[in-house]
Amino acid sequence: MTSRCSYSKCSTNNNDQASNNTAHLLGCSRCKSARYCSTACQKKDWVFHKFKCVSPEVTRHEVDGFSIEAIQSAINSASPGDIVVIKEGAYGNDGQSTLFVNKPIYLWGGEENRDNVVLDCNLVIDESDGDHDGSKAVVVADLFLDGTVTISDNSYKSVTLCNIELKCPNNSPRDALKISGCKGKCLILGCDIYGGSDGVHIASEQVYLKRTCIQYAQNRGIFSRRIFTIEDCEVSGCGGYGIKGSAGWTEKGRHNDIQPGPWSSDGPWSSGW
């Protein structure tokens, strides 16, 4: 159990006395794992914590080994609603593997420090068995992923990517994140997305981008065939437009920083990383 405030931006975490204040931390009444130095920190962290606030009675599966196959095995063994926990380390080394999340589960990595869990693979979230009632959610959180993400045909209540760093290989012909065929809500929260032909390609309704940074796509930061919502995001350094959408989009929050366009086809994206 942590001796630090679970709100990663809490100033007391850098205080030498933080580790001595364990008895004064407020515990989350539901998950029993998150702890806070104040109700103010608990409220600020809720936007992220609610996606990992799961009862301790929920079945957890620990990944056994440091390969993409080991993660896939744990996912295959999980039942809908279970949690798959990936321990700190690097998984995969060829960039050719594909990891499939084809049932409503929680896939968790390295807490707020996502750099502790590195996956070198492509991630596909779909519903291949088609035997779900649409009442459950998929949550993938706290990972560094060197590859692409595809969220496709599914009837989940929601699909959430939370605190993910996604780096699509430079000059890749694929989009870094592609979203299509989702029946429910798709939320991209607190993520950093780099590279790809397009950074994010949207072909689904109910897509929400919040507190996310999209940079260095070869063409467009976001290309959308559907209306979507963007809140407190940055889109910059892409080869063409920051956003190009045939159906438009809804801006929320006060801090969207969106690159205008078009830029030249050999724009500044190539110098980004």
Share of the chain above pLDDT 90, in %: 63
The pTM of the full predicted model, rounded to 2 decimals, is: 0.89
* 18 and 142 part of one domain: no
Q: How many domains in the chain? A: 2
* 39 and 67 part of one domain: no
> Can you tell me the distance from the alpha carbon of 147 to that of 86, in angstroms, rounded to the nearest whole number?
17
**What is the span of the domain harbouring residue 210?**
55-271
pLDDT value, residue 48: 86
**Would the pLDDT of 228 be above 90?**
yes
Return all residues near 4 (Cβ < 8 A) that are at least 6 apart.
10, 12, 13, 18, 19, 35
pLDDT digits (tens, 9 = 90+) for 103-137: 999 999 976 688 899 999 999 999 976 555 567 89
How big, in percent rounded to 5, are the helix, strand and coil portions of the chain? 15, 35, 50
> From the centroid of its chain, how far is CA 259?
22
* 43 and 109 part of one domain: no
* 80 and 215 part of one domain: yes
* 61 and 43 part of one domain: no
- Give the Cβ contact number of residue 219 at 10 Å: 21
